[in-house]
Every structure is written in structure tokens, then in C-alpha cells.
């Protein structure tokens, strides 16, 4: 009994001391000028970063919306209307093409890395290093490579196809990494349950593991879409700059290339504003989608 | 059944080898097309020549190399402190309510195309700079300011995860010794994350040195040695894009060789990033 009582008193005292401590910390926290300065500059930096972003997005949207006119969505391009409709269509084609090339490759490599590979093997190390290297290469180097390899050596010429091949290599590491993370986050118990029911490895992968990893893979694909839509330097010398709705083997400009072409002609400020708005809206939409998917994954 | 399993395993393996193949192809084609030009011009003349006059067959890319380094250095000087403080804010100061908004803001910054950044620089920063200096607004400073903004999300992403992965015990131990929240964060947590932060900075350097479209629109692009922060300059990336459209013969090869030099820079940067990442930070 005595011991118990003592214990209770001790706890009470401990609580008291703790609250006192807390108060004291708070006091020093407010008193220490240096700490307040540190807190201040940290907040300041974050506010500065976000303010720049808000200003940038707001500026482009508000100044640009005024410059959106109907004639910029005309079907055929001429120097009078400077329409961006062909560029929009080409952007869609380019996105679909490069995703069709890169997504299966990226997802399959991720499957190999997660489900089959010996994690400490030399091959896995090599694949990781090269994927890392690919994600660090600037887009202009991809553009040069695409020009030398796809347009010249493989004789594909300035075409949507050589542009899409170049971009596919560029977005491959992004899709690979996100797919790998998504596959890794599928619990092993799923696989074991499937094996236990007598399913083979292949069936387990395609019927059990991949479906549960879809949201993660999708968020990677969406991020890759964003990169394709915004890409310019890698496309200038692979897909070219012709302002027409392009077939697979024709040269065509995407929206971002269209914007650069306008800027290098230097006559079309208003049209550049308008193109900027459309690009910005697409980017906002893409970011919104990937944000929503991320939330869904977090809820799971 | 067994056969199908084996075939698909092979398919996955081949897909996985694609990235290895891609890097090999990129190296081979760039070096094969660029290196001969370097030797035709003379490696020393090419790398240390200060005059770039394709019309007269004079190809010295030192002005562009120095230009790239200057712009990148200045951008890092301006961007990195803000980026590190922002990631400290995100991981240790940000109220939970705002974290989602802040984080998606940074993600949005990473998603904005460089051509849009360039356009923003062209219509906002260039006129501002012209007013401040009373001269042409297409300057080294203009380009660096824009690049500082552009590398922010890259640096923040890596730095924040480095700071977040520092064990909580570091922070608590520091608090226990009587340090305040800010002191604990800045003198116990941040120093512990320094190799991750360094990796973030190096990645930022890579991003800045490889940036093309935004720089072309606002840096002035004069192919001469950079004279000062309020003068225009040309970077390696800009050199390639500006002249590749009409170049032929040795001129074209010299531009590809410029790409090779840029590529070597990037490979060195990548190498240092992976070396920084390989260090095990908290030896458990």
C-alpha cells in the first residue's frame, strides 16, 4: 500500500515537473532571439517560394486568358491566325505514342526488378545505375541523341515517331521507379495467398500484384505525361516544328514546341500568352490528378 | 505452362535491360559523332578557345562552358539557401493543416514546363532587370534568378526526405539538452542530413546546367566570354539549340561535340550524386 501510494505521488510529481518543463521550454523558446530569427527565416523562405509560384501561375493565367481568341483554335495554320489546334492534337498523339512505348517497358522492368531479380546481383546494380543516369540526362542531350540515332541512323526523319521514341527513353526511368515502388508496396501476403491457392508466378503477377499496384503505376504515368507535354528541347530536332496535324511519320510541333517557335519568330506575344495558359491548365490538371491518386493511395 | 513462365521471365528481363541499352546507345552515338570533331578542331583549341565564329571555322567553346558554370553557380547561390530552408520548413515547422498545400505547390513547381518558366522570365524578369540596370535585360543575373526558381523543387524534394529520415532521437536528445526547437533542428537534425542535402544540391546543379529552353529565352546568347552579371552570355545548351537548325559539316559536328562536353559534365555530376547517396548516413 505504502509503495503504491508513493508511486502515485511520484507520477503526480512527474506530471507536475513535466508541465513546468514544458512551460519553461516555451519561455526560453520565446526569449531566445536567435531561435526566433531562425524560425522567422525558415517561414520567410517557404513563404517566398510559394509566393513566387502563386505569382507565376496567377500571372500566366490572368494575363493569358485575355489573349485567348477563337481564331487560335482554327483548323489550319497560317501566319494570320497562328492557330494552336494542330499543336494540341500533336501533343495528344505524342503523349499517347511515347506512353505506349515507355509504359510497358517501364512496368515490365519494374516487375523484373521486384519479382524476379536477385536483389544483390550485378545486373540489378547495373540497371539501377543506368536508370539513375537516364533520369539525370538533360533533355537537350536526349534531343541530340534522338537526332543522331532515330532520325539519321534509323532513317525515321523528322517525325512524330522519332520524337516519341526519344521521349520514351526520357520518361522510362520515371515510370520504372514509380512502378517499382508501387509493386514493392504490395504486401507479400498477397503473393503467398495466391501461390497457396496454386497459382503460378505469372498468374500471381498479372492477376494479384499488378491490379493492386495500379494506382501507384498510374501516378507515375501521369507524371510522365506531364513531362511529355512540357518537353521542348528533345523534340526540336527529332519531331521538328511543322505546324500541321501530323501522322506518325510526319514532322509536327507539340504545344511546347509551338510556344518556342512563336518566341523565336518574335512577333506573336499575345499568342504566346494564350499558349502559355493552355499549357498551364494542362499542367494544373495533371498535377490535380496525380494529387488525387496519391491521396487515394494514402487512404488505403 | 512452364514454357510460358520462362518466356515471360525472359521478356521482363529484356525490358529491364532496355535502360542499360539506352545508356550504351546514347554514349556510343554521342561520342562517335562528337569526339572526331574535337580532334579535327584540336582538343585544346576546342575546349580553351575563346572565339566562336562558325563562319570562319573557329570553334572555341570556352565562353559557353564558362557561361554555363557562371549561370549555374549564381543560381545555386541564390536558390539553394531558400530551397534548404523551405525543406526544413516542410519537415519540421509546417503546421499539419498546410503541409498538403505546400507539398502540392512544390510538386506543381516541378511540373511547370521550362518553356513556360522561360516565358515568365521574358515578360516579367527581363523588363524588371532592364529597368534596374538601365540596359538590356537579357543578362546572366536574369537567367540565374529564373534557374534558382526552377531548381527549387528538385533540391527541396531530395533535401526534405533527407531531413525527414534523420532519426527522431537526434532531435529529442538535443531538446533534452535544453536546446530550443529551432536550435535542435538547425544544429542537430540538419547537420545529420548533410550528405542527403549535398546530393540535393548536386542534383540541382545538374538540372541547372542542363536547362535549355528557359535560358535561351532570357540569357542574351552572345557567344563571348561572360563580362559581368549584368551582361548577356550563352550557355552550352543554348549554343546547341540556337545553331543546330542551320548548321552543317564541321559546324554541326562542333555542336554535337558541345553536347558531348555537356554530357561529360552531367555524367560527373551523376557520379557524385550516387557516391553521396551510397554513404550510409546513420550507422545502425
What is the model's pTM?
A: 0.89
Decide if pLDDT at A291 tops 90: no
Check residue A92 and give its pLDDT. 94
Tell me how far apart the alpha carbons of residues A50 and A40 are, in angstroms, rounded to a whole number. 15
Both A58 and A74 in one domain: the answer is: no
Residue A44 and residue A156 share a domain: no
How many of the other CB atoms lie within 10 Å of CB of B83?
30
- State how far the Cα of B53 lies from the Cα of B34, in Å rounded to an integer: 18
> What pLDDT is attached to residue B276?
82
Mutate to test the interface with B, among A145, A162, A165, A296 (most CBs of B within 10 A): A145
* Percent of chain A's residues with pLDDT above 90: 62
Same domain, A148 and A186: yes
Say if residue A158 is in the same domain as residue A44: no
pLDDT of residue B245: 86
Q: What is the three-class DSSP state of B102?
A: helix
CATH number assigned to the domain with residue range B61-278, chosen from the 4 options 1.10.3720.10, 2.170.120.12, 2.130.10.10, 3.40.50.280: 1.10.3720.10
**Does one domain contain both A91 and A237?**
yes
Domain boundary among A39, A65, A91: A65
Say how far apart CA A273 and CA A226 lie, in whole Å. 19
Which one of A36, A65, A94 terminates a domain? A65
The reply to whether A28 and A94 lie within a common domain is no
Contacts of B149 (CB under 8 A, 6+ apart): A52, A56, B79, B109, B117
Contact B4 A28 (CB under 8 A): no
CATH number at residue A130: 1.10.3720.10
Among chain A residues, the shortest Cα distance to B21 is held by A130
B226–chain A nearest CA distance, Å: 22
**Domains identified in chain A, total number:** 2
For the stretch B87-104, pLDDT in tens is 999 999 999 889 989 999
Give per-residue pLDDT as tens, A25-77: 554 544 688 888 999 999 999 999 999 999 999 999 999 888 888 878 878 88
A115, A158: one domain = yes
Smallest CA–CA separation between A161 and chain B, in Å?
Answer: 17
Tens digit of each residue's pLDDT (9 = 90 or more) over B26-40:
999 999 999 999 999
Q: Judge whether residue A20 has pLDDT over 60.
A: no
**By percentage, how much of chain B surpasses pLDDT 90?**
76
B233-280 pLDDT, tens digit each: 999 999 999 999 888 889 999 999 999 999 999 999 988 888 887 765
**Pair B220, B231: CB distance under 8 Å:** yes
Q: For chain B, positions 206-245, list CB contacts with chain A under 8 A.
A: 206-207, 209-213, 217, 237, 240-241, 244-245
A54 and A189 part of one domain: no
In 10 A of CB A266, how many CB atoms? 8
Both A53 and A138 in one domain: the answer is no
Which residue range is the domain that position A80 belongs to? 70-299
What does the pLDDT read at residue B228?
A: 86
Q: Of the residues A22, A43, A65, which one is the last residue of a structural domain?
A: A65
Q: Are residues A104 and A234 in the same domain?
A: yes
Instruction: Say if strands B52-53 and B58-59 run parallel, antiparallel, or are unpaired.
Output: antiparallel
Say yes or no for a CB contact (<8 Å) between B266 and A59: no
Do A46 and A141 belong together in one domain?
no
User: How far does B85 lie from chain A, in Å, by closest CA?
Assistant: 5
Amino acid at each position: 500500500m505504502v509503495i503504491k501510494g508513493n508511486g502515485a505521488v511520484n507520477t503526480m510529481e512527474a506530471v507536475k515537473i513535466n508541465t513546468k518543463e514544458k512551460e519553461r521550454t516555451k519561455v526560453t523558446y520565446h526569449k531566445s532571439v536567435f531561435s526566433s530569427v531562425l524560425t522567422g527565416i525558415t517561414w520567410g523562405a517557404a513563404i517566398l517560394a510559394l509566393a513566387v509560384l502563386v505569382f507565376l501561375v496567377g500571372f500566366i493565367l490572368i494575363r493569358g486568358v485575355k489573349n485567348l481568341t477563337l481564331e487560335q483554335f482554327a483548323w489550319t495554320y497560317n501566319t494570320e491566325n497562328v492557330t494552336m489546334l494542330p499543336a494540341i492534337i500533336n501533343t495528344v498523339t505524342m503523349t499517347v505514342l511515347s506512353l505506349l512505348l515507355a509504359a510497358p517497358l517501364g512496368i515490365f522492368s519494374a516487375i523484373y526488378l521486384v519479382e524476379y531479380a536477385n536483389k544483390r546481383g550485378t545486373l540489378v546494380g547495373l540497371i539501377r545505375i543506368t536508370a539513375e543516369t537516364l533520369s539525370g540526362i538533360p533533355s537537350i542531350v536526349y534531343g541530340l541523341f534522338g537526332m543522331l540515332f532515330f532520325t539519321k541512323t534509323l532513317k525515321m526523319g523528322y517525325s512524330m515517331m522519332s520524337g516519341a521514341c526519344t521521349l520514351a527513353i526520357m520518361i522510362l526511368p520515371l515510370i520504372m521507379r514509380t512502378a517499382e515502388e508501387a509493386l514493392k508496396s504490395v504486401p507479400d501476403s498477397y503473393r503467398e495467398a495466391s501461390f497457396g491457392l496454386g497459382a503460378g508466378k505469372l498468374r500471381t503477377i498479372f492477376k494479384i500484384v499488378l491490379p493492386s499496384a495500379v494506382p501507384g503505376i498510374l501516378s507515375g504515368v501521369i507524371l510522365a505525361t506531364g513531362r511529355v507535354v512540357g518537353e521542348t528541347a528533345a523534340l526540336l530536332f527529332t519531331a521538328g516544328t511543322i505546324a500541321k496535324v501530323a501522322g506518325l511519320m510526319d514532322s509536327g510541333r507539340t504545344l511546347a514546341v509551338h510556344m518556342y517557335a512563336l518566341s523565336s519568330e518574335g512577333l506573336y506575344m499575345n499568342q504566346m500568352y494564350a499558349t502559355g495558359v493552355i499549357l498551364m491548365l494542362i499542367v494544373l490538371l495533371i498535377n490535380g490528378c496525380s494529387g488525387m491518386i496519391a491521396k487515394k493511395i494514402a487512404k488505403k | 505452362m512452364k514454357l510460358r513462365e520462362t518466356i515471360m521471365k525472359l521478356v521482363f528481363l529484356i525490358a529491364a535491360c532496355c535502360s542499360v541499352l539506352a545508356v550504351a546507345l546514347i554514349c556510343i552515338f554521342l561520342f562517335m559523332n562528337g569526339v572526331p570533331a574535337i580532334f579535327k578542331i584540336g582538343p585544346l583549341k576546342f575546349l580553351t578557345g575563346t572565339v566562336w565564329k562558325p563562319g570562319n571555322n573557329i570553334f572555341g567553346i570556352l565562353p559557353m562552358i564558362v557561361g554555363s558554370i557562371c549561370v549555374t553557380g549564381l543560381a545555386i547561390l541564390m536558390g539553394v539557401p531558400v530551397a534548404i530552408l523551405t525543406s526544413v520548413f516542410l519537415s519540421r515547422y509546417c503546421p499539419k493543416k498546410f503541409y498538403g498545400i505546400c507539398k502540392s505547390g512544390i510538386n506543381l513547381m516541378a511540373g511547370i514546363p521550362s518553356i513556360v518558366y522561360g516565358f515568365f522570365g521574358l515578360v516579367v524578369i527581363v523588363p524588371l532587370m532592364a529597368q534596374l540596370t538601365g540596359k538590356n535585360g537579357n543578362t546572366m543575373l536574369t537567367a540565374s534568378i529564373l534557374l534558382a526558381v526552377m531548381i527549387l523543387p528538385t533540391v527541396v524534394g531530395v533535401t526534405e526526405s533527407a531531413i525527414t529520415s534523420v532519426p527522431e532521437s537526434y532531435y529529442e536528445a538535443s531538446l533534452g539538452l535544453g536546446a530550443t526547437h529551432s536550435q535542435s533542428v538547425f544544429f542537430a537534425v540538419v547537420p545529420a542530413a548533410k550528405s542527403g542535402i549535398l546530393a540535393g544540391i548536386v542534383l540541382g546543379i545538374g538540372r541547372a546546367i542542363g536547362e535549355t529552353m528557359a535560358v535561351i529565352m532570357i540569357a542574351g546568347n552572345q557567344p563571348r566570354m561572360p563580362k559581368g552579371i549584368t551582361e548577356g552570355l550563352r550557355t552550352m545548351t543554348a549554343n546547341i539549340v540556337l545553331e543546330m537548325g542551320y548548321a552543317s559539316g564541321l559546324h554541326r559536328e562542333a555542336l554535337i561535340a558541345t553536347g558531348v562536353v555537356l554530357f561529360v559534365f552531367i555524367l560527373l555530376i551523376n557520379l557524385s550524386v550516387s557516391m553521396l547517396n551510397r554513404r550510409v548516413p546513420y550507422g545502425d
